[in-house]
Amino acid sequence: MIPLSPLSIALLAAVVTGTAAAILAWRERPEAGATWLSVLLVGQVWWTTFLVFELETPTLAAKALWYDIQWIGVVTIPIAWLLFALEYTGRDRYVTPRTILGLAAVPLATLVVVAAGDPGGLIRADATVAESPVGSFLRVEPGPWYYVIAGYTYLLGLFGSVPIVQLVRDDARPFRGQSAALLVGTAAPWASSILYLSGAIPVAGLDPTPLAFAVSGVAYLLALSRFRLLALAPAPRRRARQLVFEHLHDPAFVVGTEGYVVDLNQSAVDVFEIERRTAVGESASAVVPRYDALADAEVDPSPLVIVGADGRRPYEVTVRNVTDTHSRSIGRVVVFHDVGDYLGQQQRLDVLNRVFRHDVRTETNLICGYAEVLAGDPTDERALGVITESATRILELSERTRTASELFGPTADPPSPIALDEAVRSVAAELADEHPHARVSVADDLPDVRVPAVVTVIAENLCSNAIRHNDAESPSVWLDASVADGWADLVIADDGPGIDEAEYEVLARGTETPLDHGSGIGLWIVKWATDHVGGNLSFERREPCGTTVTVSLPTVGGGAETTDYPDNGNPGDDYPRDGPNGDDSPVGVR
């Protein structure tokens, strides 16, 4: 048996380490990059194995054959390295069949030339057998295509190293160790190849690149075992950050330093009805709602009222600068937080707190006081009447509170549609039964359209308030409705004393104070119900007495998107503000 040359023995050590690393990488499938790292290591093992065959073969023809077979491994390595780097760092969207086919064009052309016998000496201009102390090898004079494939290999290697280098300074220590090991593993063959092409190798014509694969194998083994290369890859982290941005519930825009939109998430597309393809590259002032106001350092911190797919909504806006590793500003992220539900819930809690703290307590004190009177004189009918009235008012407050919780609480179901004419006539009939002394009139030509079911709650509370706050022997309430441009206007008028201006101010402001609050909860329920479906409220005094309230609700199948609301320009105003008819009446009802 002929002993192996010293160079072959060294190359077999590289084959062993490379094979071990390839097996470990293959076992990590389907982790990001595992398959392509396995292909890379198999390419190195292929190249090294057939170089051993070349060294141990005595004839020129045999050496040339094994030399040609090595090209399969040679051209596989750079493609596998680039694809591994892309998958490993979370850039797998670039790893597509089209990309792979494009990257393989030059390598496939190389293999075709080799399989065709290298006509014209494109790869091997000349080849001779060279004897050296380390073994007998094929000394090759490169042809022009050899330098093409060499340059292409270095180019892919460089591109693949860029995302790996970015991890060297990562905050996570495992990723720093992984990237360092990977760079060592790829730098060793690079350096050997460059030394070979520059003629700096002591043994002329000997390509030491396969020998460097021993260093690569050790480095990859270290990365796989010590730094958990594939078990703990950065790919999920990068992808997760993309998903968080894309599926963030709040609309978000990324704006470059020159004021152009760089990116936006799906929520921004849906909420503000923006076309993503046309938005990217456009001026932020033309795409991002109220961007000019956000760019102003003196902008009011109050929520911005913006028209979107769900009508007019209040948004708190967060603007954060995006900086590079040198702390230089490279853009800004603008995030819109819809605080409508939060403000509405806070408003409801404040009102309910006042109801229980003031109204219920007042009625309870009356009951307790007159209960003592009854204890002294059980025949006092006045005391009995006060107790009955107070208890009735407490029950009414309790029922209205339950209604508010069911309709507008965090677990409330979306409003369902209902026929407007049927709802109005049903409410009128119930009022007539409950208040037989009142005159409830309904217009004959009510429109046959469907609106959110909260119209029933709105009509009930408005009409009940109108009757109960009217001291006339026979109070009157008139109901009418009309439809235009996707909006249904429900008009309720009465002949009572009218609404106190303090009530208007509280409802328009949207908040109560211990000294400045409403007189009940019914008007708040009407406001919440209207806001809940993106509607609008307006009112005016009726001559000679009373109030006319107009409630505008979107019809089913048409609505806010068909009406262009004027912008009052005051982000601190409560919402919605302007009515479908363009008036700027304060928000308020009886």
Residues 42 and 114 in one domain: yes
366 and 331 inside one domain: no
Residue 138 lies in a domain: yes
- Condensed to tens digits (0 to 9), the pLDDT of residues 191-215 reads 888 888 777 777 766 788 888 888 8
Tell me: do 124 and 151 sit in the same domain. Answer: yes
Q: How far is CA 111 from the centre of its chain?
A: 46
438 within some domain: yes
Same domain flag for 192 and 59: yes
Strand 417-419 relative to strand 450-452, pairing? antiparallel
Do residues 94 and 86 touch, judged by C-beta distance below 8 A? yes
- In angstroms, the CA 295 to CA 272 distance is 19
479 and 579 fall within a common domain: yes
CA pair distance 572, 300, nearest whole angstrom: 8
Joined tokens for residue 95: 């790893």
Q: What total of structural domains would you count in the chain?
A: 4
| Residues 310 and 371 occupy one common structural domain | no
Dihedral over alpha carbons 573, 578, 579, 583 (to 10 degrees): 120
Give the closest residue to 340 by CA, choosing from 416, 438, 271, 243.
271
Amino acid at residue number 76: T
Sign of the CA dihedral running 16, 22, 24, 26: negative
296 and 422 both lie in a single domain: no
The reply to whether the predicted model has a pTM over 0.85 is no
Q: pLDDT tens track of the chain, all 590 residues?
A: 457 778 888 889 889 999 999 999 999 888 888 999 999 999 999 999 999 998 888 889 998 999 999 999 999 999 999 999 999 888 888 899 999 999 999 999 999 999 999 988 899 888 888 887 777 888 888 899 999 999 999 999 999 999 888 887 776 677 888 888 888 888 888 888 888 877 777 776 678 888 888 888 888 888 887 777 877 777 777 778 778 888 888 999 999 888 899 899 999 998 888 888 889 889 998 999 888 877 665 555 667 777 677 666 788 888 888 887 778 888 899 999 888 776 666 666 777 766 676 678 788 888 888 888 888 888 888 888 888 888 887 887 777 777 666 666 555 666 678 899 999 999 999 988 988 899 999 998 899 899 988 898 889 888 988 888 888 888 999 999 999 988 999 999 999 887 776 676 666 666 655 545 555 677 788 888 887 787 888 878 888 888 899 999 988 864 333 333 333 333 333 333 333 333 333 332 32
Distant-in-sequence, close-in-space partners of 577: CB < 8 Å, separation ≥ 6: 305, 312, 536, 568, 584, 587
3-state secondary structure of 223: helix
Last residue of a domain, one of 393, 412, 431: 412
Q: What is the pLDDT of residue 103?
A: 94
Q: Which of 338, 365, 399 is the last residue of a domain?
A: 338
In a domain, 500, yes or no: yes
312: tokens are 């007019």
The domain boundary residue, chosen from 367, 384, 412: 412
Amino acid 404: pLDDT: 66
CA distance 536 to 404: 18
CB 137 within 8 A of CB 55: yes
pLDDT for 395: 81
User: Per the domain annotation, does 242 fall within a domain?
Assistant: no
Per-residue model confidence as pLDDT tens digits over 10-42: 889 889 999 999 999 999 888 888 999 999 999
Q: What is the pLDDT of residue 97?
A: 93
- Give yes or no: residues 92 and 225 share one domain: yes
Residues 356 and 462 in one domain: no
Question: Is beta strand 450-452 parallel, antiparallel or unpaired with respect to 487-494?
Answer: unpaired
Q: Which letter does DSSP use for residue 358 in this model?
A: I
Query: H-helix or E-strand containing 125?
Result: strand 124-132
Q: Bridge partners of 141?
A: 126
Q: What is the domain-level CATH number for residue 211? A: 1.20.1070.10
324 and 354, same domain (yes or no): no
Cβ(420)–Cβ(446) below 8 Å: yes
Pairing of strands 252-256, 261-264: antiparallel
Whether residues 455 and 537 fall in one domain: yes
If asked whether residues 216 and 265 sit together in one domain, one would say no
Q: Please report, for the domain that includes residue 433, its CATH number.
A: 3.30.565.10
Work out whether strand 487-494 and strand 304-308 pair parallel, antiparallel, or are unpaired.
unpaired
Q: Within a domain: residue 113?
A: yes
CATH assignment at residue 328: 3.30.450.20
Q: Look up the domain containing 155 and give its range.
A: 6-237
Domain contains 1? no
3-state secondary structure of 95: coil
Tally the residues of the chain: 590
Instruction: Enumerate the H helices of 303-412 as residue ranges.
Output: 340-354, 360-376, 381-408
| Spatial distance between the Cα atoms of 280 and 361, rounded to a whole number of angstroms | 58
Nearest to 251 by CA among 295, 322, 306: 306
Backbone angles phi, psi at 558, to 5 degrees: -160, 160
Range 433-440 contact pairs with CB under 8 angstroms and sequence separation of 24 or more: 435/467, 435/475, 437/473, 437/474, 437/475, 438/467, 438/470, 438/474, 438/475, 438/476, 438/477, 439/474, 439/475, 439/476, 439/477, 440/476, 440/477, 440/479
Long-range Cβ contacts of 149-152 (<8 Å, 24+ apart):
149/74, 149/75, 149/106, 149/107, 149/110, 149/123, 150/193, 150/197, 152/78, 152/106, 152/107
| Separation between Cα atoms, residue 464 and residue 433, nearest integer Å | 12
- The pLDDT of residue 310 is 67
What string of DSSP letters covers 529-573?
HHHHTT-EEEEEE-SSS-EEEEEEEEPTT--GGGS-PPP---TTS
- pLDDT for 385 equals 86
